[in-house]
Homo-oligomer: A and B are copies of this chain.
Amino acid sequence: MSNTILVNGTIITMDAKQQVFKKGAIAFENEKITYVGEVPSDLSIYDEVVDVKGDYILPGLVNTHGHASMSLLRGYADDLPLQQWLEEKMWPIEATYTKDHAKWGTYLSIIEMLRTGTTTFVDMYDNMDEVAMAVDASGARARLCRGMIGFGSEELRQSKLEEASNFARNWNNQANGRITTMMSPHSPYTCTPQFIEQIVSKAVELNSPIHIHMSETRSEVELNVSEYGERPVKHLEKLGMFEQPTLVAHAVHLEEWELDILAKYDVKVSNNIISNLKLASGIAPVPAMLEKGITVSLGTDSSASNNNLDLFGELNQVALLYKGVHNDATLIPAEKALQMATIHGAEAIWLEDQVGSLEVGKEADLIVLNTKQAFYQPAHNPISHIVYSGSGRDVKDVFVQGKQVVKNGECLTVDEEKVIFEVNRLSEKF
């Protein structure tokens, strides 16, 4: 791979110093970033010099919760509450899913994410070999896990645990390191305490982090109390989960003492703000989490409940919603929202040494926004414009590990037309 430099961009590093270079440059060689700063005087050492003419360059976004295969169900059932949506609509149709559905659904989601600037995503589902192969082929980066629902026979549970363990072992650090894995009990309400303990033990054995849905709806929390005598946070703490690195998705219905437990164990949170609104699950206490020092990242959840994977939506929503709900226009300013979509996303999945900011030595996962458009004018406040006026549709070029995967808005690694044909072929039968 060549030694490339992008020049004359506004480089938004998202590093600890919050550096922004207004007439900046970023260089990378093979997978790694080799330079970030002002445009160097000597460009002759680079094989390729690209003038981005004022466009913004920022780290690829990190989407910390989703189910890529479910994109086949976009718009299949809207405007319903979560349990009804899940039990009457999603689960029956998901029961008919095959590897083919997983494959094409995942490709559709990957196209959507890459085109809108998400270079790293978390996925929890089944048929995960299909998902991993699609990640590998598309050039995206992902932290993947086989989500285990513990209903059914003991035999079925044990076969899922074995499948999940094999997946976590076999795919970790594959695809040139772009794929990492986790172990994933679906949720406290779909897995018995015994099953969760078995999964935690396996995660310890595999040295694998854990990913779980937690406290998404009020009724789920009440069910946990009535079944196990504890709210989900305390319940999972007692089961030893939080001694292993853990990423919880949703975390909507939490009392203050529960935030203290999450903070104590450095449990990471994936806030799924749009999915939580759409399914009427509620509004997570993000400002309180941030005050406690909890790492809060952003996730889309699936496009069956969102209904899209453009993380710019979450970025914008998290900067808007809490201001209105708490009557405080200073809550979650633009910079904090952008951190949640980038560096905090990387921290939430323990990849902050590799991605999430533009720094020398990190992997060259970066996106270029076409800002020669009305939405970005006047040009004086880039981070504000990205958060409050930008869209994933403005992403022009995307690089992962220094390899270009989107060029002028077109995905280079996946054939969008073919994928659209296949997903419509499959979904016609629903």
A residues whose Cβ falls under 8 Å from a Cβ of B: 71-72, 74-76, 78-82, 85, 108-109, 111-112, 115, 218, 274, 276-283, 303, 306-308, 310, 313, 316-317, 319-321, 323-331, 333-334, 372-375, 377-381, 384-385, 388-389, 391-394, 416-417, 419-420, 423-424, 426-428, 430
Contact = CB atoms under 8 A, between A and B. Distances in A.
A308 B310 CA distance: 17
14 contacts: A76-B380, A79-B333, A80-B330, A276-B324, A280-B324, A280-B327, A281-B324, A283-B325, A313-B316, A372-B420, A374-B419, A374-B420, A378-B423, A391-B393
B377 A424 contact: yes
B74 A377 contact: yes
A379 B108 CA distance: 13
Contacts of A280: 323-324, 326-329, 331
Contact of A307 (B82, B317, B389): B389
A334 B78 contact: yes
A319 to B, nearest CB: 8
Contacts of A277: 320-321, 323-324
A108 B75 contact: no
Looking at chain A's contact residues, the main secondary structure is: helix
Given A374-B419, A378-B426, 6 more contacts: A75-B385, A76-B381, A81-B328, A109-B374, A374-B420, A391-B392
Contacts of A420: 372, 374, 377
A78 B394 contact: no
Total copies of this chain within the assembly: 2
B330 A385 contact: no
Nearest to A273: B324
Given A391-B391, A391-B393, A330 B380 contact: no
Contact of A108 (B321, B326, B374, B423): B374
Nearest to A316: B313
A375 B310 contact: yes
B78 A374 contact: no
B320 A274 contact: yes
A79 B319 CA distance: 9
A79 B322 CA distance: 11
B108 A307 contact: no
Contact of A327 (B282, B334, B430): B282
A100 B321 CA distance: 35
A373 B281 contact: no
A381 B308 contact: no
A279 B377 contact: no
Given A308-B389, A391-B393, A380 B278 contact: no
A306 B81 CA distance: 29
Contacts of A325: 283, 325
A394 B394 CA distance: 11
